[in-house]
Structure 1
Amino acid sequence: MGKKGKREKKGKGAEKTAAKMERKVSRRAKKEEEDLEALIAEFQSLDAKKTQVIESSCPPPSPRLNGSLSAHPEKDELILFGGEYFNGQKTYLYNELYIYNIRKNSWSKVEIPNPPPRRCAHQAAVVPTAGGQLWVFGGEFASPNGEQFYHYKDLWVLHLATKTWEQIKASGGPSGRSGHRMVACKRQLIIFGGFHESARDYIYYNDVYAFNLDCFTWNKLAPSGIGPAPRSGCQMATTPEGSIIIYGGYSKQGPKSEKRKRRRGRQAEAEGAGDEEMEKQSPQGPVEIVKEVVAEDGTVMTIKQVISGPAEEKERSESEEEEEDGALSQQVEPCPRSNAMLAVKHGVLYVYGGMFEVGDRQFTLSDLYSIDLHKMEEWKVLVEMDPKAQEWLEESESDEEDDDMEGAEGGEEEEESSEEESEDEEGEEQHPSVQPDEKHADYLSRTEQYWIKLARSNMGPDAKEKKVVKVAHAMAKTFYEDSV
């Protein structure tokens, strides 16, 4: 009886430990979300200073991936919004809006007041209503160190004729997510799949939502038949008959611990090619990839693709290889890439940006190519780029040691890395300096009122005091970490 009691006691102890760990993870997840909300609010306070529409000619946008490229429904233009860029040490998020004039082969940047917060891995869809509308849903915001993520569940519309952004607030929509897909079909926006990550969970979705463009209401759909498994980064398109086709995608059990691999995995989730698939790009023999295509009515079709490996390629004759090399030397085509932005206008496919990796280095692109889908004869280079000219900052050994220590300590929270410096500077304004050997807590206590006053001036008199204090603390911490 005594031994049984000990076993029961031991079991209760394990339950308490698990419950304690769950509470700790929940607190960490909540803090991460609050930290990112404060950082997002800080960026929005800077955007709030824009009071008028400014459209100006500009060079091609900076390198980026996981943005959206959409064809204007009435004009010969492409619309580029959002995206991200990683230079080896820091992640940058964008909410810039660029217009590409197809006929003139020229770019312009359009600054519009009250834009959506910075994001990547969102979805955009255009409809011809009232001179054209660009609808944007979801996506994510990443902390500068690329370790924390905030998933949006907001819905925005850009009225192209008047160049105004509007946030549409309607209840009953999808949860926050990125890597999902959205198409416009029969006066509705249809959203499928995606994923959500926090310190608490890692979830893939296969739910389907419809937003009615006439009455501005959400409806969760329950299609009949056997639906696709949960996934992100799939391809989704409408047919002339009004059906929706879903193809491929990406899913995995949980996040990877090492930072670089985690970024690769997350980027794959947004576009549908994971680390495991990257390894298959150089197979040693024939590889059969089986994909499923699920139509709206539940019909499932299977597509098999066989990739030949080096063993089969060696069997080709030398003359065939010479002919192929000669043909390739005369052709121009985009380099291999993932997470690029695509749009089709008048039967022409446009490919912008994306990234490819060489070893541990990530090259982010800003080139633009086009190909006529009716002829499929050749690629045209509309914007060139030399990836070798791109900045790349390697992680220091101390950074790698910190990552190793964090893993060894079982993922203990590193509170002082939750907020990083803002991409936008505060101009030439002189902030209270950090005294020698001054701790962060002491600096914040000494200068808190200054930062609250600055945050209030940026956010306006209507901002809630709690949010103002969060932004003020984020700004103070950013300045402190830059100074020490």
Structure 2
Amino acid sequence: MSSSGVEMSLDDTEYSMKPAEELPLTDDCHHYQGKHEVPWDIQKYFAQRYSIFSLYDYGVYMTDDAWFGVTPEPVANQVAHDMYGTDQKKHILIDVFGGAGGNSIAFALSERWSRVISIERDPSTLACAQNNAKVYGIAPGLITAQTWQLVLQCQILFIIMAKDKKKNADAKKAKKAEKAAKQANKGEKKAKNKAAKVEGSDAEDVDLDEVLEEYRRQQEQFLKITETVIDAPPRARAASTLMASPHDSNTLLLFGGEYFNGSLAQFFNDLNIYNINRDEWRCVTSPNAPLPRSGHAWTRAGNPNHVYLFGGEFSSPKQGTFHHYSDFWRLEPATREWTKIETKGKDKSPSARSGHRMTYWKQYIILFGGFQDTSNQTKYLSDLWIFDTVNFVWHSPQLPPAQLKPDARSSFTLLPHEQGAVLYGGYSRVKATVNVKQKGNKGPSQAQRNVLIPKVHEDCFFLRISQPATDANPNTPPVVRWEKRKKPANAPNPTRAGATMAWHKGRGILFGGVHDVEASEEGMDSEFFNQLFAWNIERNRFMPLGLRKPRQQKKAAAEPRGGRRGRAQANEDELLRQLAALETGASLDDADEIELAKKEEERDDDKPAREMPVTMEPPHVRFNAQLAIQDDVLYIYGGTFEKGDREFTFDDLYAIDLGKLDGCKEIFSRPVEDWIESDDEDEDDEDEDEEDEEDEDEEETGQQLYTPSKRKKKQDEISEASSEPSSEPSTPSEDDETETAATSVDDGLPHPRPFESRREFFVRTSAEWQEILMTSLRWKNIQPETLAIKEIKAKAFELSEEKWWDCREEIVALEEEQEAAGIQEVVSLAERGDAASGGGARRR
């Protein structure tokens, strides 16, 4: 790029220049909003968009060719600074190769020149430059005549990196021609170079319909459902779905996902089963299964026999084109059989989408939100759909226009509730009006412009659902109503996107996320998290969950009350005996005499149990991890981490016992695969690689994604946060005050004590819970006498267990305080058999 300075006046008749009408943006002008929209050969430059234009999110447009030649904003600002001190007699500057306006905007913003003229041959690129100038508050014009004649009269004043002007100009022309040829062959060269590394790569992007049809043909070759034991866990993948099997308490279900290595994307449709007790992975193949996809959603049904899946997306290997699914599937976890559910009629089912969420309520499946990719933009959705699993029909409830409802969004949380569902958070891009500074002939002025900006939602809604009357038509939809809740108290701060949540005992367990910080010269800076939170849905309050080291028990066998964690296994056995007593109708006092008939999984005698490492640190920081909770144990699978313009997909699985929080068990963890770069990317990254050589010993791709010092600092922050049970809310407001005022003690129900197991809590309060249950039944016009004693005790135990989990985080905080003071457990002497020994013993 070269720039020229002239001493002539623009008012000369020979060079009269009058602004023409504004050029409209053409189909070649793009404002990409996400990597999934960007052609593969400019994805690296898109990752650096905030270095190119710091106001990119405010509506900057560029043609695809402009990405390769645009001057980054810090460089353009330096050039403008160097030009500032030139001969003050020269007050007009001409940017001969204007492009998308990078240098011209910097020159204009320096306020050194009375006029800045940007010359560009391509109308689409020039239209982008005009648009971008407005984004930066500059009033552009368009000159269509006598421009090149003016240039011929100009005196060359400044050329970047110029020593010998004529020699440098010739060399620059040759270099530009060489670069143009190189860009023209870039796609073919990149594909050929990667063909040996990535299976299935093509010289050109492929036809999606043909690819999907080939998948269908291959799938039809399977004659029956086959379940095969695999030697290693499935390949790493992002945007997959993980679920605790609703059929049994010993398996996890993993389906779909995608893996992108920087060059090609691969999508999966394999159903993988993880057997927890046997530490064994199995892969299921079927002649009838959903096609490969990612970004889909699934949920269990109200009964434990079915899982429902909807939508998702698929792309060509180079992500040049995308396809969204609108198909609906049902999986039977017991038989591993997929069934496609067909609905008749247009607009009788949800449209194709990704990033939506699903949950269940009674006989209904609830679906909300998501996004759709079009050729020009990403459209976020706010429609609500409810599927009746009995009558096999979709309902789209018509809500009153004035009724408050959630904004369009994706990647949010949707959890089940006994009266409907609860929605929290999410991500979208919303329209906003910003003030921009314009520079016109009459001086600077203020103007407003509509732009799309990212938004991380922090609001919370309750979806109240009522079933239709029993004598209503089978196709009658349920009655629904959105109710906005107060903002949750003590929400994670700062706000974060990609923080996933799983439902557990009336709570939402949240992990990870990413918070985008303001742009720097290197691009958008992001802060990643690996903190755990529990969101109590009823009390609408977040509590941090911290891992705690188990204490060594010296006299666990000799002293039954010697330490909470040492008695964990004994308490679980007693709890099983308690449940067995309730099932057989025996009294609680006879529970210890019942022998447990434990159902052991088949295990090979020659295959000893594998010792899994346990650490007191949570998994590596990440976002969009998949969570599942089976038998009170949280499982964390995969997720994504970004470093610079590289994106890493984790290949690991961890387990955390939510009742004990006594460490993070590593089920498996494999190094992340290398990020594949093109030759052009390697050349562009030479300077960056030289800077990173100093840190090479500390940070190695696939081994350690952040330094030990940062890891220790992050863990210290987590430990400090975990030790404070009532951290301050992220943004105090009047709405939060009501939420924070209520605690679990205020409900008038029996309350657990520190160090008290679920079994101990129920034994101590069994009579109270049975009375509470019978009172509740009478309010519902149900006579308790119609129930068997064992049914009443079993339901009373469920109520007590719900209460135990409801206030678990508060009790843990009390336990930590008492342990710090040297108290290992709290005992009520009035409830012990030796209570008659007198008060002297208590004083001692």
What TM-score results when the alignment is normalised by the length of structure 2?
0.36
C-alpha displacement of 1:14:
8.8
C-alpha displacement of 1:360:
2.1
Q: The residue matched to 1:66 in structure 2 has which SS? A: coil
Structure 2 CA distance for partners of 1:342 and 1:197, relative to 1, 3 Å:
same
1:192–1:206 CA contact under 8 A, matched in 2: yes
Partner of 1:38 in structure 2?
Answer: 210
- Out of 132, 135, 145, the position equivalent to 2:318 is 145
- Out of 276, 295, 298, the position equivalent to 2:462 is 295
RMSD (CA atoms): 3.5
- Out of 423, 428, 436, the position equivalent to 1:251 is 428
AA matched with 1:49: Q
Q: What does residue range 178-197 of structure 1 map to in structure 2 within 5 Å? A: 178-197=354-373
Q: The residue matched to 1:206 in structure 2 has which SS? A: coil
2:370–2:410 CA contact under 8 A, matched in 1: yes
C-alpha displacement of 1:118:
0.4
173-182 vs 100-109, which moves further: 100-109
Q: What are the superposed Cα offsets for residues 263-300 of structure 1, whole Å, 9 maximum, x if unpaired?
A: xxxxxxxxxxxx979xxxxxxxxxxx871111114123
In 2, the alpha carbon distance for the partners of 1:232 and 1:128 equals: 24
Q: The residue matched to 1:252 in structure 2 has which SS? A: strand
Q: What are the superposed Cα offsets for residues 288-335 of structure 1, whole Å, 9 maximum, x if unpaired?
A: x871111114123213544499xxxxxxxxxxxxxx9x99x9623211
Partner of 1:386 in structure 2?
Answer: 671
2:615–2:663 CA contact under 8 A, matched in 1: no
2:252–2:273 CA contact under 8 A, matched in 1: yes
AA matched with 1:165: W
Partner of 2:98 in structure 1?
Answer: none
Q: The residue matched to 1:41 in structure 2 has which SS? A: helix
AA matched with 2:367: I
AA matched with 1:380: K
AA matched with 1:169: E
Partner of 2:632 in structure 1?
Answer: 347
Q: What are the superposed Cα offsets for residues 438-479 of structure 1, whole Å, 9 maximum, x if unpaired?
A: xxxxxxxxxxxxxxxxxxxxxxxxxxxxxxxxxxxxxxxxxx
In 2, the alpha carbon distance for the partners of 1:175 and 1:399 equals: 41
Q: What are the superposed Cα offsets for residues 228-261 of structure 1, whole Å, 9 maximum, x if unpaired?
A: 110000011012x22211111111159xxxxxxx
Q: What does residue range 307-318 of structure 1 map to in structure 2 within 5 Å? A: 307=494
Q: What does residue range 310-459 of structure 1 map to in structure 2 within 5 Å? A: 331-387=616-672, 390-397=673-680
Structure 2 CA distance for partners of 1:46 and 1:353, relative to 1, 3 Å:
same
AA matched with 2:309: V
In 1, the alpha carbon distance for the partners of 2:637 and 2:404 equals: 35
Q: What does residue range 50-199 of structure 1 map to in structure 2 within 5 Å? A: 50-58=222-230, 59-75=232-248, 76-127=250-301, 129=303, 132-171=305-344, 172-199=348-375
C-alpha displacement of 1:134:
2.1
C-alpha displacement of 1:205:
0.5
C-alpha displacement of 1:68:
0.7
C-alpha displacement of 1:124:
1.1
AA matched with 1:196: Q
- Out of 230, 233, 238, the position equivalent to 2:416 is 238
Structure 2 CA distance for partners of 1:291 and 1:113, relative to 1, 3 Å:
same
Unaligned runs of 5+ in 2: 1-19, 30-36, 38-204, 432-452, 464-481, 496-514, 516-545, 550-613, 685-844
- Out of 379, 383, 386, the position equivalent to 1:203 is 379
Q: The residue matched to 2:295 in structure 1 has which SS? A: coil
In 1, the alpha carbon distance for the partners of 2:267 and 2:213 equals: 14
Q: What are the superposed Cα offsets for residues 68-106 of structure 1, whole Å, 9 maximum, x if unpaired?
A: 111111211111000000111000000011001111121
80-89 vs 139-148, which moves further: 139-148
1:332–1:380 CA contact under 8 A, matched in 2: no
Structure 2 CA distance for partners of 1:118 and 1:330, relative to 1, 3 Å:
closer
2:246–2:300 CA contact under 8 A, matched in 1: yes
Are 1:214 and 2:386 matched, yes or no?
no
AA matched with 1:232: S
Q: What are the superposed Cα offsets for residues 42-87 of structure 1, whole Å, 9 maximum, x if unpaired?
A: 2221112111222111111111111111111121111100000011
Q: The residue matched to 2:218 in structure 1 has which SS? A: helix
2:311–2:353 CA contact under 8 A, matched in 1: yes
Q: What are the superposed Cα offsets for residues 349-403 of structure 1, whole Å, 9 maximum, x if unpaired?
A: 111112212222222122111112233332211112223xx132113328999xx
In 2, the alpha carbon distance for the partners of 1:380 and 1:330 equals: 7
Partner of 1:464 in structure 2?
Answer: none
Q: The residue matched to 1:250 in structure 2 has which SS? A: strand
Decide which structure has greater strand share. Answer: 1
Unaligned runs of 5+ in 1: 1-9, 22-28, 255-274, 278-288, 310-323, 402-484
Q: The residue matched to 1:178 in structure 2 has which SS? A: coil
Partner of 2:198 in structure 1?
Answer: none
C-alpha displacement of 1:128:
6.5
AA matched with 1:110: V
In 2, the alpha carbon distance for the partners of 1:371 and 1:330 equals: 10
What TM-score results when the alignment is normalised by the length of structure 1?
0.62
174-183 vs 361-370, which moves further: 361-370
